[in-house]
A and B are shown apart, each in its own frame.
Chain A
């Protein structure tokens, strides 16, 4: 597992990472939930789960793909697609520049093809360090092309969602991506092809109200926040304190919107099994 997680070593600071003095000291991470401190190698070995409380650290999209896909199988698509600034929204150019520096990515989603336990699939993973994984025209375009390619090649899609929703700085064009991606998901579905979504922390807004909730199988990481309106907005609107665990994956499982909660180390095996269960065209399956 360790090898795979180093798929492309991201040169960036991760959640909970403490300031390290210059030198060769091993980076130390502090669990945002229980404050337990762990060194990077041990944390990597556990796929970034806290050894004490099981908290799932936020990880980068590339780390995630590295953990889930067969080594060397990933072929990235649309790596050059990046949002411009259609509205000339004040401060957006600067924000994009920061997001690119912070995440080391050009956009908030990585798409491509690969395999999981030998089963080929199209994959996407959203990047929380890129403007909270928000969806603008580039994210919408990349996802649409991914589902179109998957349809063309008769591939299932496995997607990891992490997103604050539509990207406000791209205005109405962001909102339109919800319909556009939904259209691509629908065409893929109508061909009898499988789509599995793994909802990660956090999946909200326009992403929760479109492709995250359109999968054949909806899985979630423990503790992931999943909802349409964010908790802060709900508290402000209703002037009501939200109960503990509201909108978390366990809550969504209880309410019937998530099919299964899967810990990160068990995801690869389960995805492989589910892909196996859907192999062959739908006409051959009977």
Chain B
């Protein structure tokens, strides 16, 4: 499949949105709203639930299930308050020793006057800072689009997986086309050049594995369940400090060969 076809597949609104994953994988999910500072951002879903027998913190960038829902959720592009909501819940996970499961599906963090006034950069920076210090495991999966810093804010994790047709990119192909090629029409070329497929990510060592989607994504749900389960079991014998150091080591090696 060409890179651009994958971009379209990753954005296809027939794909299950993050809420569907939560429904399939988490029992007794209790959604908790708000960032306790400014408002509630529907693009970021946060809450508690059980993954198997374990209580976990769940964070998800949610694009929405139909048009009104997508509009309400700003198509999964979170405002700073979305990232401050996830920050709060990560701190709660640390306090109560719960693993964090993250579902990522966003074209990128919200871009606009309000987002800038309320410190979009600072909000993402604080998430990254917090995540690099967590003593609980953080497992992330990119289920559709993994766009830029807005996606990384839920993917500075201990382990990251991607669905077969998901994409992960420093910048949208449209953005890259206009910045690099100075021609917004060159999206196909930009998609190719950016190397944003799951296989590319595996080759760069950016993700741990690729999850097959199958016909109706039921394969993806079960593959993801197994991946999460195996990873959490692996963390059982580790101390908080080891979990944290392992995460740092995971990112520490990235790019070192290319400098």
Question: In the complex, A213 Cα to B123 Cα: how many Å?
Answer: 9
Known: A82-B259, A240-B113. A176 touches B254 (CB 8 A): yes
Chain A residues within an 8 Å CB radius of B180: 91, 168-169
Question: In the complex, A227 Cα to B254 Cα: how many Å?
Answer: 26
Nearest residue, chain A, Cβ from B156: A179
B119 within 8 A of A: yes
Q: Are A228 and B194 in contact (CB under 8 A)?
A: no
Interface residues of B (CB under 8 A from A): 109, 111-113, 115-122, 124-126, 128-129, 131-133, 148-149, 152, 156, 168-171, 175-176, 179-180, 189, 193-196, 200-201, 204, 206, 247-248, 251-252, 254-256, 258-259
A-B contact pairs, 21 of them (CB 8 A): A90-B193, A137-B254, A137-B259, A141-B259, A166-B170, A168-B171, A171-B169, A174-B170, A175-B152, A178-B156, A182-B128, A182-B132, A183-B156, A185-B129, A209-B122, A210-B125, A210-B149, A212-B121, A237-B112, A238-B112, A255-B118
Known: A137-B258, A180-B252, A234-B112. A172 touches B195 (CB 8 A): yes
Question: In the complex, A118 Cα to B194 Cα: how many Å?
Answer: 46
B interface, by DSSP: helix, strand, loop or mixed?
Answer: helix
Q: Are A183 and B201 in contact (CB under 8 A)?
A: no
Question: In the complex, A183 Cα to B125 Cα: how many Å?
Answer: 11
Known: A179-B156, A234-B112, A255-B117. A173 touches B258 (CB 8 A): yes
A279 within 8 A of B: no
How many pairs of residues, A versus B, come closer than 8 Å at their CB atoms?
A: 190
Known: A141-B256, A183-B132, A183-B251. A168 touches B179 (CB 8 A): yes
Looking at the complex, which one of B117, B120, B131, B169 makes contact with A209 (CB distance below 8 Å)?
B120
Chain A residues within an 8 Å CB radius of B126: 213-214
A69 within 8 A of B: no
Number of interface residues of A (CB under 8 A): 64
Instruction: Knowing that A176-B206, A255-B119 touch, tell me 7 more A-B residue pairs with CB under 8 angstroms.
Output: A170-B170, A172-B168, A172-B195, A175-B152, A182-B128, A183-B248, A237-B111
Question: In the complex, A204 Cα to B149 Cα: how many Å?
Answer: 12
Known: A81-B259, A137-B256, A229-B120. A173 touches B128 (CB 8 A): no
A140 within 8 A of B: yes
Nearest residue, chain A, Cβ from B149: A209
Q: Are A227 and B116 in contact (CB under 8 A)?
A: yes
Question: In the complex, A270 Cα to B129 Cα: how many Å?
Answer: 26
Chain A residues within an 8 Å CB radius of B168: 172
Looking at the complex, which one of A84, A173, A238 makes contact with B204 (CB distance below 8 Å)?
A173
A48 within 8 A of B: no
Q: Are A179 and B111 in contact (CB under 8 A)?
A: no
Nearest residue, chain A, Cβ from B189: A90
Residue of B112, B125, B169, B259 most packed against chain A (CB within 10 A): B259
* Closest beta carbon of chain B to A81's beta carbon, Å: 5
Q: Are A173 and B254 in contact (CB under 8 A)?
A: yes
For window 232-279 of chain A, which residues contact chain B by CB distance below 8 Å?
A: 233-234, 237-238, 240, 242, 246-247, 255-257
Question: In the complex, A248 Cα to B178 Cα: how many Å?
Answer: 24
For window 84-134 of chain A, which residues contact chain B by CB distance below 8 Å?
A: 84, 86-87, 89-91
Question: In the complex, A242 Cα to B113 Cα: how many Å?
Answer: 8
A65 within 8 A of B: no
Q: Are A186 and B132 in contact (CB under 8 A)?
A: yes
Known: A214-B129, A228-B124. A182 touches B206 (CB 8 A): no
Q: Are A213 and B121 in contact (CB under 8 A)?
A: yes
Q: Are A227 and B251 in contact (CB under 8 A)?
A: no
* Closest beta carbon of chain A to B170's beta carbon, Å: 4
Nearest residue, chain B, Cβ from A83: B259
Q: Are B148 and A175 in contact (CB under 8 A)?
A: yes
Chain A residues within an 8 Å CB radius of B120: 209, 227-229
Nearest residue, chain A, Cβ from B248: A183
Interface string of A172-200 (1 = CB under 8 A from B): 11111111101111110110000000000
Q: Are A168 and B170 in contact (CB under 8 A)?
A: yes
Question: In the complex, A208 Cα to B194 Cα: how many Å?
Answer: 22
Question: In the complex, A167 Cα to B194 Cα: how many Å?
Answer: 11
